[in-house]
């Protein structure tokens, strides 16, 4: 008998059957991956296991005994914890205070700080979750914040730990550290369940893999019996289209021209250093580099958030330096951000409002001061259909969508304006395989139609697949620009500051 079982789980939302008679089991001392497209029902199933949602029917068993989980508190009492994509921490409080919050060690109503810290330290050492317990959450990295979330669960003696897309916010080194923690938890008999769409990570880390599609469980297989093509076929029901051949950019018109661009931050640090490059019509120009080497500043200067910098940027012959975001948009610039939750959308607005937010002033969406809401709704519905956004209605709030579906809304809005230049910053971050393929195909189609694309990505495979040329950022400076055939090792050395460009 398995340690934990979910039997015949059905969960409906208005217009959506999120979980359709799902039965899956989990063993003690196992790393179990849940994979599937965005909207496949993965997160819903795990939120049921964590008590956030209650199933319409079905049951959950632990060691053969039925569990009734009406809330996360019930789940925690049963030894089940969950680390969400968006962490639930108090930024102003110290690490140890966040970990023990609500479950403090006290005597006669007085917190025993020394004993609390010692308990946290022992757990941290046992599982390899090093973090400075006396620092505030606001002072530590995202990877360290994730470790705090894991320590919160272990402090409460969780035996089942659920992770929702745990690597989406981590650097490559932090990903390796997390998987080491997974192995330590497994060794100690814990059950680790993680939701992901990154099949390379699944094949490297999981013992068993459960595949979901359209709310149904397609099957559960051991790692030994699985392969990436096999899992892909289960997830998407067909082969993923391959990218088209690159185009020759010789004699193409430069759309965006950076000339000796430098940027010094408020704290006096030179974040960008004398950058010069061009993005041509019909070209995808990739930017590679370890995150934190000037990508954020390059993005903000390009779209107009930051306008005080040295050097010049020209857009289709126009000097951009003093133009604001709206003026740049009117010239034909579009921006696909990496964070649809905090940058790309308004979560409290519905999908119609988000999709027309850049064009509601224009005909046919408005005339004078009056907005034509019928036309706006028709436009939103067509975009939702075109981009495969899984939503019950265009009138539902953006906050109800998954991260992947929300990013599709951003992409739909930005590309609907028929831009001549697209800044795509980590455009597939958090997207599943099929959605990622769709975005890639869209970028390639735009390139082939003569658009200029600046692609900034932490995913080197993505850059190698899509780019016509790749510029490498190191400490705010381009260490070189390379053209196909690309040499992965060469680019890797350039990302470390080595001058090895051909």
pLDDT in tens, 223-239: 999 988 888 788 766 44
Phi first, then psi, for residue 160 (nearest 5°) are: -120, 120
In CATH, what number is assigned to the domain containing residue 41?
3.40.50.300
According to DSSP, residue 53 is labeled S
Could you report the per-residue pLDDT of 67-120, keeping only the tens digit for each? 999 999 999 999 999 999 888 999 999 999 999 887 766 665 666 788 888 989
Residues 96 and 8 in one domain: yes
Angstrom distance (rounded) from CA 182 to CA 192: 7
Residues 117 and 32 in one domain: yes
Predicted pLDDT at 416: 87
Question: Which whole-number Å values give the CA distances from 120 to 100, 104, 107, 152, 334, in the listed order?
Answer: 8, 11, 18, 9, 47
Angstrom distance (rounded) from CA 271 to CA 435: 33
Instruction: Determine what percent of the chain is predicted with pLDDT higher than 70.
Output: 93
Which among 141-145, 430-434, 495-499 has the top mean pLDDT?
Answer: 141-145
Over residues 124-139, mean pLDDT: 92
Contact call for residues 428 and 458 (beta carbons, < 8 A): no
Over residues 316-336, mean pLDDT: 92
Q: 395 in a domain, yes or no?
A: no
Which among 23-37, 130-144, 227-241 has the top mean pLDDT?
Answer: 23-37
Q: Tell me the pLDDT of the chain averaged across its residues.
A: 88
Residues 285 and 232 in one domain: no
Predicted pLDDT at 239: 46
Q: Which residue has the tokens 């849940």?
A: 34
Q: Which residue has the tokens 């403090």?
A: 104
Starting from the edge strand earliest in sequence, which strands make up the sheet with 16-26, in order? 16-26, 4-13, 57-62, 65-67
Q: Which residue has the tokens 């705010």?
A: 476
Q: How far does the chain reach from its first CA to its final CA, in angstroms? A: 59
Return contacts of 178-184, CB within 8 angstroms, 24+ apart: 178/143, 178/146, 179/204, 179/205, 180/128, 181/127, 181/128, 181/129, 181/147, 181/150, 182/31, 183/31, 184/126, 184/127, 184/128
Candidate from 34-38, 104-108, 142-146, 169-173 with smallest mean pLDDT:
104-108
Total tally of structural domains belonging to the chain: 2
Could you report the per-residue pLDDT of 365-408, keeping only the tens digit for each? 888 788 888 889 999 999 999 888 888 899 999 988 877 788 88
**pLDDT for residue 421 is more than 60:** yes
Angstrom distance (rounded) from CA 6 to CA 22: 7
Predicted pLDDT at 333: 95
Domain that includes residue 478, residue range: 254-332+419-495
Confidence of residue 252 (pLDDT cuts 50, 70, 90): confident
Higher pLDDT, 110 or 143: 143
Residues 22 and 168 in one domain: yes
Of 210, 236, 262, the last residue of a domain is 236
């Amino acid at each position: 008998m398995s340690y934990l079982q979910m039997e015949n789980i059905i969960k409906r939302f208005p217009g959506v059957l999120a979980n359709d008679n799902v039965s899956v089991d989990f063993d003690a001392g196992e790393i179990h991956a849940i994979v599937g497209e965005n909207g496949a029902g993965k997160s819903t199933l795990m939120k049921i296991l964590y008590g956030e949602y209650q199933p319409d029917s079905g049951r959950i068993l632990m060691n053969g005994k039925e569990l009734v989980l009406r809330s996360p508190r019930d789940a925690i009492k049963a030894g089940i914890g969950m680390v969400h994509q968006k962490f639930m921490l108090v930024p102003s409080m110290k690490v140890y205070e966040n970990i023990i919050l609500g479950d403090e060690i006290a005597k006669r109503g007085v917190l025993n700080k020394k004993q609390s810290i010692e308990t946290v330290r022992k757990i941290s050492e046992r599982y390899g979750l090093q973090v400075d317990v006396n620092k505030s959450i606001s002072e530590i990295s995202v990877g360290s914040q994730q470790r705090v979330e894991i320590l919160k669960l272990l402090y409460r003696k969780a035996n089942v730990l659920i992770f929702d897309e745990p690597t989406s916010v981590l650097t490559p080194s932090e990903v390796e550290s997390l998987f080491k923690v997974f192995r330590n938890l497994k060794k100690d008999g814990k059950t680790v369940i993680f939701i992901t769409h990154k099949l390379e990570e699944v094949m490297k880390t999981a013992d068993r893999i459960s595949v979901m599609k359209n709310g149904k469980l397609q099957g559960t297989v051991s790692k030994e019996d699985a392969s990436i093509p096999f899992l892909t076929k289960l997830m998407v029901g067909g082969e993923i289209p391959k990218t088209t051949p690159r185009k020759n950019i010789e004699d193409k018109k430069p759309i965006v021209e950076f000339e000796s661009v430098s940027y010094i931050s408020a704290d006096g640090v030179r974040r960008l250093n004398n950058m010069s490059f061009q993005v041509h019509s019909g070209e995808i120009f990739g930017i590679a580099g370890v995150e934190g080497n000037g990508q954020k500043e390059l993005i903000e200067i390009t779209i107009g958030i930051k306008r005080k910098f040295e050097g010049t940027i020209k857009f289709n012959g126009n000097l951009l330096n003093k133009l604001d975001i709206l003026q740049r948009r009117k010239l034909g610039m579009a921006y696909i951000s990496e964070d649809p939750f905090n940058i790309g959308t308004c979560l409290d607005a519905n999908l119609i409002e988000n999709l027309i937010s850049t064009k509601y002033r224009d005909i046919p969406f408005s005339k004078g001061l009056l907005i034509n809401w019928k036309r706006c709704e028709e436009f939103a519905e067509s975009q939702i259909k075109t981009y495969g956004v899984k939503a019950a209605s265009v009138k539902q709030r953006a906050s109800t969508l998954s991260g992947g579906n929300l990013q599709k809304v951003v992409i739909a809005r930005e590309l609907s304006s028929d831009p001549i230049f697209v800044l795509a910053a980590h455009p597939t971050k958090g997207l599943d395989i099929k959605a990622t393929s769709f975005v890639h195909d869209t970028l390639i189609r735009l390139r082939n139609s003569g658009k200029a694309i600046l692609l900034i990505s932490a995913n080197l495979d993505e850059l190698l697949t899509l780019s016509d040329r790749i510029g490498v950022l190191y400490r705010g400076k381009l260490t070189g620009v390379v053209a196909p055939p690309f040499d992965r090792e060469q680019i890797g050395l350039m990302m470390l500051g080595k001058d090895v460009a051909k």
